[in-house]
Structure 1
Amino acid sequence: MSEPRRFPDEPAGPFSEPPLSFNDREGREIEIRPYEENDEEALVSMYVDFDPADRAQGIPPATEPRVRDWVNTLAEGLNVVAWHSDRIAGHATLVPGGNDAYELAIFVHQEYQRAGIGSHLIRTLLGYGREQGIEKVWLTVERWNRAAVNLYRNVGFETADAESFELEMVLRL
């Protein structure tokens, strides 16, 4: 049995809580808000249109029925979505993962990447999580994904395990 995940003693932050509006690097007006049940079709559409090259660790799923099942599973956790007009540009989730810790996953549609949305999305999700009483967050990321690793470090995540091709990173709210 593996050792329990170790989290930093000091909390990271500060983090904003949703809703949050900002202009991304392309000048688009983006609004981040908590996911609601009536957002499901827009979120499924974003994932169905997701570039297969941007899939990591088998997610998001590749087919619409599997995307729908996956989105329904994620709805059990804490979710925020980034809206551009009437379209979802990104989604971040905290999924209960045992031992009072939550696993973080974030996805930004390829048309909106490298515009600062991911940074706002993750920070707003963490603010929302803190507001909801979540204290421990972890994630795994492929070590070659430098943009993601740098984003997580800039937000306050620390590397907990680097013994495989994935890094496990942790943060305390």
Structure 2
Amino acid sequence: MVSAIDQHRRPSSPTTFTDRAERPITVDAYAGGPEPVVEMYTHFDDESRSQGLPPRGEPRIREWIDGLLDEGLHVVARHRGDVVGHAVLVPFDDRAELAIFVRPAYQSAGIGTQLIGRLLEYGRENGVSHVWLTVDRNNRIAMNLYQSAGFETTARNRGDYEMERYL
């Protein structure tokens, strides 16, 4: 049940791995302030945005992150202390919506796979049982990531697919 998300129990321990570019990456639950996450999102250019996210400009990014941090469960990936990936489960009716972003210079290195796995584990530990997301139908990399994490396409809307899975 998503209402149990308010408990915010942390996963047992952080995951550390070496990404495909030989960088040490640590993935763990996040309950800190907005600054490290806002800083990560300032590195996204227009080509790195999907479905209007992240917003453009630091003030809009800050407003968006402040709202996200107020609810849901967050997991971040760090390289040498800097946030390079962020994933969140936000309660929505009887499900939680998933969003995941990896800083452009760190994409296609296996970080998204680690983030999504850790986030789904964290969600399960906090009572989340049903997760959904939308993805641009042209974003093959993201669709492959979601499918490899067990998501199935449940609806096709204009240029987006809705995907979901039970935990």
TM-score when normalising by structure 2: 0.90
Structure 2 gaps, min length 5: 1-10
* Residue deviations 1:107-138 (CA, integer Å, cap 9, x gap): 00011001000000011000000001100100
**Aligned-residue CA RMSD (Å):** 1.3
The residue aligned with 2:21 is 26
Aligned residues: 156
Q: Give runs of aligned pairs for residues 126-145 of structure 1, distance below 5 A.
A: 126-145=120-139
Distance 2:91 2:26 in 1: 25
Q: Give runs of aligned pairs for residues 14-163 of structure 1, distance below 5 A.
A: 18-38=13-33, 40-75=34-69, 76-98=71-93, 100-163=94-157
Distance 1:53 1:96 in 2: 28
* Residue deviations 1:76-100 (CA, integer Å, cap 9, x gap): 11100000012111000001111x2
Distance 1:33 1:58 in 2: 26
* Residue deviations 1:112-170 (CA, integer Å, cap 9, x gap): 00100000001100000000110010000000100100110010000100242100000
2:113 maps to a residue whose letter is S
Contact 2:88–2:119 under 8 Å retained in 1: yes
The residue aligned with 1:12 is none
Distance 1:97 1:54 in 2: 26
1:101 maps to a residue whose letter is R
Contact 2:43–2:104 under 8 Å retained in 1: no
Secondary structure (helix, strand or coil) at the match of 1:37 reads coil
Percent identical: 50
TM-score when normalising by structure 1: 0.87
Distance 2:125 2:136 in 1: 29
Runs of 4+ in 1 over 2 A off after TM superposition: none
| 1:18 to partner: Cα distance | 4.9
Distance 2:62 2:30 in 1: 15
The residue aligned with 1:8 is none
Structure 1 gaps, min length 5: 1-15
| 1:17 to partner: Cα distance | 6.1
Distance 1:80 1:87 in 2: 13
Distance 1:145 1:73 in 2: 26
Secondary structure (helix, strand or coil) at the match of 2:108 reads coil
